[in-house]
Amino acid sequence: MTTTLITGGTVVTPSGAVVADVLVDGETIAAVFAPGLGPVGVDTVLDATGKYVIPGGIDVHTHMQLPFGGTFASDTFATGTRAAAFGGTTTIIDFAVQRTGEVVQDGLAAWHAKAAGESFVDYGFHMILGGVDDDALKAMDQLVADEGITSFKLFMAYPGVFYSDDGQILRAMQRARDNGALIMMHAENGIAIDVLVQQALARGETDPVFHGLTRPPALEAEATHRAIVLSGVARDCPLYFVHLSASGALEQVAAARDAGRNVFAETCPQYLYLTLEDQLGAPGFEGAKWVASPPLRSRDESHRADLWKGLRSNDLAIVSTDHCPFCMKEQKELGLGNFSKIPNGIGTVEHRVDLVYQGVVDGKLSLERWVETIATTPARMFGLYPRKGVIAPGSDADIVVYDPNGHTTIGVATHHMNMDHSAWEGYEIDGRVETVLSRGEVIVDSGGFHGAAGRGRFLRRGLSSYLV
């Protein structure tokens, strides 16, 4: 087995930052030593003096090749996970899809087929339930018991596509309460939104910005509240809100958590940095780059400041990306002249570790909380801890050496995602991913990329640590 000693770096975990040497033996972390006390005679010494040594990032919300709006998200498991690795993310959890009328296990098999032999980093799946019926409920039990899939996404949005009504949601929550799974909720009132969309189109309002204006924050807050009420009826079924974007929705989550409820939430970098006016409202069709649901929120309201605060207070536990890239050419362009036909999604899987780190530089988040929100809590929330998400003996040696004195300029010319534009063009980060190890193997360093497609393994996940 190959041994590597990472020396002199500052090892950051949620409980603190300390200078230490990390010994990697084969695929796992063997020991953490006080500086200089590690063994001699290892195969490789990796000098991390002046750098942070952190657990590899875990992005719990990606959509490789998601079918949406008549096209497919443009990253495959190969292109998307390679890009993820460049950005310091060594595990993704992607969403397998059961379309309405499809057998859940068939949807899962299709996702395994997409990922097998392709992925550069380890990966797990959540399951999107596009049709909750008796068979789907039984399938939930089977996926939890046998397949290592312990979280299910439901949609209060997208009527006619992924939408579940309140009765379906309640039934799935009751089932999850019994089998220990986590319900992940896309909380937007899709029925009301569709009315606003039709009214806007009838007025001739077709530009991308109307995507945002027809999905007001109140309809995210309302759906968030309704989902919390339904999960209460389902005996406090564990409930996790994906891609939370707005102050009102966060208030609902915070109130539920204050009341001791099993309610959790994530947000995404786009909601922490980008706005309805500055990006979605860009001239002409340019704003299509930022069409995603929920939409970017107004810079004139308190959303971004409240989301950073929510990350500090743990009402927002995780930063994921909701990575769902579409090219402008032939994909976003499907919505020229009708914003409702623009495929929904933004690509960020490569930049999450950097963008959240910039929050540390800007004084919005502590170093410890950076690691907690991008790696440790994702592992705990989704049944991967302590195998992933921590630098400790016995854990997988998924490790990022991060240079706080480095610099990263984001843009389409340098990114590795399969996109013809960047939603983050020109963003400057006061730090840089220097070296990335995935299960002990250096897959990214100053010499470039060294991983191989198919080296990433499927992760059978356990239940959430927060509930057992």
Query: CB of residue 296 vs Zn ion: minimum separation in angstroms?
Result: 14
Distance set, CA 177 to CA 72, 98, 150, 253 (Å) = 33, 21, 12, 19
> Per-residue x/- marks for ligand URP, 71-110, CB under 6 A?
----------------------------------------
Asked whether the beta carbons of 58 and 96 are under 8 A apart, the reply is no
Residue nearest to Zn ion (CB): 186
Residue 322 in contact with ligand URP, rule: CB under 6 A: yes
Query: What is d(CA 399, CA 144) in angstroms, rounded to the nearest whole number?
Result: 28
Q: Which is nearer to ligand URP, 127 or 292 (CB)?
A: 292
Q: What is the C-alpha to C-alpha distance for residues 25 and 43, in angstroms, rounded to an integer?
A: 10
What is the Cβ-side half-sphere exposure of residue 378, based on CA atoms within 13 angstroms? 33
- Contact set for ligand URP, span 37-66 (CB under 6 A): 63
Which listed option, ligand URP, Zn ion, none, makes contact with residue 345 (CB within 5 to 8 Å by class)? Answer: ligand URP
**Site for Zn ion contains 186 (CB under 5 A):** yes
Q: What string marks each residue from 278 to 297 as x (binds ligand URP by CB under 6 A) or -?
A: --------------xx----
Tell me if 340 contacts ligand URP by CB under 6 A: no
| C-alpha distances out from residue 425 to 76, 99, 306, 396, Å | 22, 34, 24, 33
The angle that helices 134-142 and 104-115 make with each other, rounded to 10 degrees, is 50
Residue 344 near which of Zn ion, ligand URP, none (CB within 5-8 Å, type-dependent): ligand URP
Of the candidates 38, 217, 325, 345, which one interacts with ligand URP according to CB under 6 A? 345
Q: What are phi and psi of 179, to 5 degrees?
A: -100, 0
User: Interaction with ligand URP in 167-186: which residues (CB under 6 A)?
Assistant: 186
Instruction: Report CA-CA distances (Å) from 348 to 50, 80, 411, 445.
Output: 27, 10, 11, 20
Taking the complex as a whole, how short is the minimal distance between the CB of residue 184 and ligand URP, in angstroms? Answer: 10
Distance between CA atoms of 195 and 337, rounded to whole angstroms? 18
In angstroms, the CA 315 to CA 318 distance is 9
* Binding site partner of 231, from ligand URP, Zn ion, none, Cβ cut-off 5-8 A by kind: none
Identify which of residues 186 and 297 has a Cβ nearer to Zn ion in the complex: 186
Please identify, using beta-carbon distances, which residue of 252 and 270 lies nearer to ligand URP: 270
Nearer to ligand URP, 170 or 187 (CB): 187
Residue from 91, 344, 373, 422 binding ligand URP (CB under 6 A): 344
Contact of residue 288 among Zn ion, ligand URP, none (CB under 5-8 Å per partner type): none
Q: Of all residues in this chain, which one has the CB nearest to ligand URP in the complex? A: 344
Distance (Å, whole) CA 99 – CA 120: 27
Question: By rule CB under 5 A, what count of residues binds Zn ion?
Answer: 2
The strand pair at 239-241 and 182-186 is best described as parallel
Contacts of 244 (CB under 8 A, 6+ apart): 187, 220, 224, 250, 253, 265, 266, 267, 271, 294, 307, 310, 316
State which H helix or E strand residue 226 sits in.
Answer: helix 217-233
Residues 297-356 that bind Zn ion (CB under 5 A): 322
Q: Which residues bind Zn ion (CB under 5 A)?
A: 186, 322
Q: Which residues bind ligand URP (CB under 6 A)?
A: 63, 186, 243, 292-293, 322, 324, 344-345
